[in-house]
């Protein structure tokens, strides 16, 4: 099996990917880059959600010239996404971007690419060679072998120009093809791999396709940074990425919310309580397992195993912390205590929160 530790470490701004470092979560803005306030605002929301690297489109000179202003206003590394007009890459580098992405399918000529590579080398700015099936050059077969060959050809080209500060990605809208192509790619390179299923779509369809593609590759030890490509608000991309990584025990950030699917035994409106807890704890960053369970079959057991939890019965709920019963309350009071406990955990960055535990004793 491919080991994540085997990839070369690459520094992108204040983040290091590869070399066994945690799988980094990235996203891409969908604002017009020329609109600095809108772009910065969206990046700030992405940062709050846990995004660690952000890419912006650079289709015009004006957008390239605004990169410096954007970079000064954000806290995470900024990546310039370049297509067709690679001359904009020189401006992007001058503006201080932390990485540039080039797509072999949209490179107008190799001389300007060489000049850009040498400029990036002079500034020690990493380059991602990002191959997408939808823009694969006509000279390559439209299958995993063609995708991999294209990536390797351009990696070799850049290596021949004396630069090895590289990240590689191969993406398809087909999750299985994406996984198979990346498994093949990993057998040839030691550069960090940027993983994702491109053009996955939006809503539940996009989430399912992305989750399958990411999980299968990550389970093989492949992928040093991930992006979930969804149609819509990119904040959702970050949320889904962390949920995939958490499910594979690769990253722990924020609330792991455990809840039963409900059945005829449930005597409360569990869906409403679940949604209330999910909404209230959306911005929690401390890793914590929270159970919201609807009946006595699995409820008490799951609630005891979680860091904190509520198990509902008829007109009552038992509140647990670290396997200990804190008390029996009305459903509304139990949910209130659960939310308060997790917010205290966030405040102190400590899942035990001894002071809060003591304050709840005797309230039953």
The CATH number of the domain holding residue 335 is 3.30.413.10
Mean pLDDT, residues 91-118: 96
Which residue range(s) make up the domain with 200? 4-247
Do the beta carbons of residue 98 and residue 78 sit within 8 Å?
yes
Q: Is the pLDDT assigned to residue 82 strictly greater than 60? A: yes
In terms of domains, do 199 and 64 share one? yes
Question: Over the stretch 315-356, which tens digit does the pLDDT of each residue have?
Answer: 899 999 988 899 999 999 999 999 999 998 888 765 455 455
Burial of 193 (0-12, 13-18, 19+ CB in 10 A): buried
Query: What total of structural domains would you count in the chain?
Result: 2
In terms of domains, do 198 and 269 share one? no
In terms of domains, do 206 and 352 share one? no
Paired sense of beta strands 166-171 and 53-57, if any: unpaired
Q: Is the pLDDT assigned to residue 360 strictly greater than 60? A: no
Residue 299 pLDDT grade (very low, low, confident, very high; cuts 50, 70, 90): low
In terms of domains, do 64 and 163 share one? yes
In terms of domains, do 212 and 296 share one? no
In terms of domains, do 65 and 97 share one? yes
- The reported pLDDT for the residue numbered 364 is 37
Q: Is the pLDDT assigned to residue 361 strictly greater than 50? A: no
In terms of domains, do 193 and 260 share one? no
Closest CA to 89 of 54, 121, 113, 122: 113
User: Looking at 247, 279, 311, which one is the last position of a domain?
Assistant: 247
C-alpha distances in angstroms, 55 versus 12, 30, 71, 81, 278? Answer: 12, 10, 11, 6, 28
In terms of domains, do 28 and 166 share one? yes
Q: Is the pLDDT assigned to residue 363 strictly greater than 90? A: no
In terms of domains, do 174 and 289 share one? no
User: Looking at 247, 276, 297, which one is the last position of a domain?
Assistant: 247
In terms of domains, do 165 and 209 share one? yes
Assigned token pair, 208: 């399912």
Question: Over the stretch 146-167, which tens digit does the pLDDT of each residue have?
Answer: 999 999 999 999 999 999 999 9
In terms of domains, do 47 and 109 share one? yes
In terms of domains, do 162 and 293 share one? no
Rg (alpha carbons) of the chain, rounded to whole number: 23
- Domain harbouring 60, CATH code: 3.20.20.20
* Percent of the chain clearing pLDDT 70 (strictly above): 95
Closest CA to 129 of 98, 150, 108: 150
Q: Is the pLDDT assigned to residue 103 strictly greater than 80? A: yes
User: Looking at 193, 218, 247, which one is the last position of a domain?
Assistant: 247
Max Cα-Cα span within the chain: 75
């Amino acid at each position: 099996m491919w080991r994540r530790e085997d990839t070369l470490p690459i520094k992108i701004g204040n983040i290091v990917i590869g070399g066994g470092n945690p799988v980094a979560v990235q996203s891409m803005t969908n604002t017009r880059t020329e609109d600095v306030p809108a772009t910065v605002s969206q990046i700030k929301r992405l940062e709050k959600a846990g995004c660690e690297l952000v890419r912006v489109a650079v289709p015009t000179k004006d957008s390239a010239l605004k990169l410096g202003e954007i970079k000064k206003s954000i806290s995470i590394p900024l990546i310039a996404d370049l297509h067709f007009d690679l001359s904009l890459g020189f401006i992007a580098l001058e503006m201080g971007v932390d990485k540039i992405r080039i797509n072999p399918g949209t490179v107008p000529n190799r001389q300007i690419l060489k000049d850009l590579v040498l400029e990036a080398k002079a500034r020690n700015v990493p380059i991602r060679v990002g191959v997408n099936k939808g823009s694969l050059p006509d000279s390559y077969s439209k299958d995993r072998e063609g995708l991999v060959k294209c990536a390797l050809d351009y990696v070799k080209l850049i290596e021949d120009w004396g630069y090895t500060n590289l990240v590689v990605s191969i993406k398809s809208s087909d999750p299985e093809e994406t996984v198979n192509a990346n498994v093949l790619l990993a057998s040839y390179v030691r550069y960090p791999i940027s993983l994702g299923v491109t053009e996955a779509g939006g809503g539940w369809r996009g989430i399912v396709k992305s989750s399958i593609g990411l999980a299968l590759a990550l389970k093989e030890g492949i992928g040093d940074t991930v992006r979930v490509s969804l149609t819509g608000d990119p904040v959702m991309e970050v949320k889904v990425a962390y949920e995939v990584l958490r499910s594979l025990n690769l990253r722990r950030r924020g609330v792991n919310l455990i809840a039963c699917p409900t059945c005829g035994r449930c005597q409360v409106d569990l869906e409403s309580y679940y949604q209330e807890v999910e909404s209230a704890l959306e911005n929690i960053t401390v890793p914590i397992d929270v159970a919201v369970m609807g009946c006595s079959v699995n409820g008490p057991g799951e609630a005891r195993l979680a860091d904190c939890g509520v198990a509902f019965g008829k007109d009552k709920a038992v509140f647990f912390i670290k396997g200990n019963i804190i008390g029996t309350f009305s459903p509304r009071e139990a949910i209130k205590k659960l939310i308060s406990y997790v917010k205290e955990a966030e405040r102190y960055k400590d899942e035990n929160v001894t002071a809060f535990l003591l304050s709840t004793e005797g309230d039953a």
